[in-house]
Amino acid sequence: MKRARRPSPQIPSAPLGRALLMLAVFAPLGGAALPVAAQAIEYRSVAASTLLREQPAPDAEALFRLRPGTPVEIVVREDGWMRVRDPAGGFGWVEGGALVTRRTVIVTAERAIVRRAAQETAAPAFEATRNVVLELLEPASEGWARVRHVEGFEGYVHASEVWGL
C-alpha cells in the first residue's frame, strides 16, 4: 500500500526566500537569534608593565599589574582605551599606547614541550612551564604554533597548551 505524500511548503527562491524564512522563524524571538557577522579575535601584547584598570580613565581603580609581553584579547575600544581580557579570563581597561602589535602567547599547561617540528613525534626543542610568555612567530596551523623563547630557543608548541592565539 502506497502512502500519500504531503506537499512540502514552497519557499521563495534564495536569497530572498532565506531572508523571509529567517524573518518568519526568528521574528517571534525579537530577532535575538538572527545570525551575527563573525568578528575576528584580536590579540595584542603588553609593551611594558602596565596597570589593568576598572574603568577607562587614568585615575580609575587599578585591578592589578600586567607583566611586559603578556598577551591580551581586545574586546572594546573607547577613546584611546582598550577593554581587554587577560589570560586568566579577567576583564579591565588599559591605555591603547600600552599595547603593541607584536604577538605573544602564554603557556597555560603545567609543562609544554616545544618541539623542533609541528608534530607530536618531533624531537623536543625546549620545555616551558605555566605562565611563561613566548613570542609568536607564526600563527597556529593544524594545531601547532611556531614560537620563540626570550633566550632565543625556537620551536612548535601545541595550540592547546598556550593562550593568545
Domains 42-100 and 104-163 share a fold: yes
**pLDDT band, very low/low/confident/very high, at 131 (cuts 50, 70, 90):** very high
Q: How far is CA 17 from CA 26, 44, 115, in A?
A: 14, 41, 51
Annotation: CATH topology of 104-163: SH3 type barrels. (2.30.30)
Average pLDDT over residues 1-14: 42
Q: Whole-number mean pLDDT of the chain?
A: 83
53 burial class (0-12, 13-18, 19+ CB within 10 angstroms)? Answer: buried
The stretch 53-68 carries a mean pLDDT of 96
pLDDT in tens, 29-49: 444 444 444 557 899 999 999
Sign of the C-alpha dihedral, residues 96, 99, 105, 106?
negative
Domain ranges of the chain: 42-100, 104-163
Residues 6+ apart with CB under 8 A from 70: 45, 46, 86, 87, 104, 106, 133
pLDDT, mean of residues 23-33 = 44
User: What pLDDT does 13 receive?
Assistant: 42
Topology of domain 42-100, CATH: SH3 type barrels. (2.30.30)
Q: How far is CA 54 from the centre of its chain?
A: 21
Q: If DSSP codes are grouped into helix, strand and coil, which group holds residue 87?
A: coil
Structure confidence at residue 5 (pLDDT): 43
Identify the pLDDT of residue 8: 39
Phi/psi for 98 (5° steps) reads -80, -10
